[in-house]
């Protein structure tokens, strides 16, 4: 089914380019979800659909519609899957997993499928990939790499709209603390260690 889902995503995106939320991101999330589900369980048909369709409505990070992206993606996915004949209970499971994946939405995943999808997507925000995606998105919003005079926000408020490095504290390092499954938490350890080491090295290089 993955190819059919990718085709629908590309149709919905209409050629819009977002290096942090592309087809390769969807494939990696599905790969991570399979690894987690192999230990934790869950309906793979629901997990696969949610992994590939969770960003099908993907407004820019600074768009007023951004907070509604998960709900809009769930609605789009539900209509698409129902038209393809997926069972109503599975469609509902996919919709919930998509809505619950959003960090800003703050929804608690009620099913193992939603937990697996949320964990897989959040692992993508950690490690080397997380660093790369963070700076990619910040560049899309014309943010600076970091605050030159106070990169760790010791004497100012954090502002990840203005400084990419601030996003580590505002969101990314917090993401690691929200993972649902023991499998994902174990997978996250090395990724978090890398991010902390990257930040330490960056600070060392920019210290005058």
pLDDT, tens digit, for every residue of 35-94? Answer: 999 999 999 999 999 999 999 998 776 666 777 889 999 999 999 999 999 999 999 999
Measured CA to CA, the distance from residue 52 to residue 64 in angstroms comes to 24
How far is residue 109 from each of residues 47, 56, 118, 202, measured CA to CA in Å?
13, 19, 8, 35
Measured CA to CA, the distance from residue 74 to residue 51 in angstroms comes to 11
For Cα atoms 196, 200, 201, give the angle at the middle one, nearest 5 degrees. Answer: 120
pLDDT at 61: 67
Do 1-109 and 125-208 show the same overall fold?
A: yes
Q: Report whether pLDDT(116) > 90.
A: yes
Measured CA to CA, the distance from residue 122 to residue 130 in angstroms comes to 9
Per 3-state DSSP, the chain is made up of helix, strand and coil in percentages (nearest 5) of: 65, 0, 35
Cα-based torsion angle of the residue sequence 192, 195, 197, 200 in order, rounded to the nearest 10 degrees: -130
Q: Are 151 and 203 in contact (CB under 8 A)?
A: yes
User: DSSP string of 145-187?
Assistant: SS-SS-TT-SSS---TTTBTTHHIIIIIHHHGGG--SHHHHHH
Of 13-22, 103-112, 140-149, the range with the lowest mean pLDDT is 13-22
Q: What is the mean pLDDT of residues 123-147?
A: 95
Q: Report whether pLDDT(183) > 80.
A: yes
CA within 13 Å, CB half, 202: 17
> Domain locations in the chain?
1-109, 125-208
CATH topology of domain 125-208: Hypothetical protein af1432 (1.10.3210)
Across the chain, mean pLDDT equals: 94
Q: What is the mean pLDDT of residues 151-180?
A: 95
CATH topology of domain 1-109: Hypothetical protein af1432 (1.10.3210)
DSSP lists the bridge partners of residue 163 as 144
């Amino acid at each position: 089914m993955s190819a059919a889902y990718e085709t629908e995503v590309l149709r919905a995106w209409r050629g819009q380019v977002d290096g942090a939320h592309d087809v390769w991101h969807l494939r990696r999330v599905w790969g991570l979800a399979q690894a987690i589900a192999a230990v934790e369980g869950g309906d793979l048909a629901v997990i696969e659909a949610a992994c590939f369709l969770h960003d099908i409505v993907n407004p820019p990070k600074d768009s007023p519609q951004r907070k509604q992206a998960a709900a809009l993606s769930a609605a789009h996915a539900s209509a698409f899957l129902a038209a393809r004949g997926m069972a109503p209970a599975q469609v509902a499971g996919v919709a919930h997993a998509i809505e619950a994946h959003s960090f800003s939405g703050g929804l608690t995943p009620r099913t193992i499928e939603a937990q697996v999808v949320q964990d897989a997507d959040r692992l993508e925000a950690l490690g080397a990939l997380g660093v790369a995606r963070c700076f990619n998105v910040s560049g899309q919003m014309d943010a600076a790499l970091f605050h030159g005079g106070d990169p760790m926000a010791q004497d100012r408020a954090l502002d990840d709209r203005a400084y990419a490095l601030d996003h580590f504290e505002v969101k990314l390092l917090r993401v690691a603390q929200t993972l649902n499954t023991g499998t994902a938490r174990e997978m996250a350890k090395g990724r978090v260690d890398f991010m902390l080491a990257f930040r330490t090295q960056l600070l060392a290089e920019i210290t005058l």
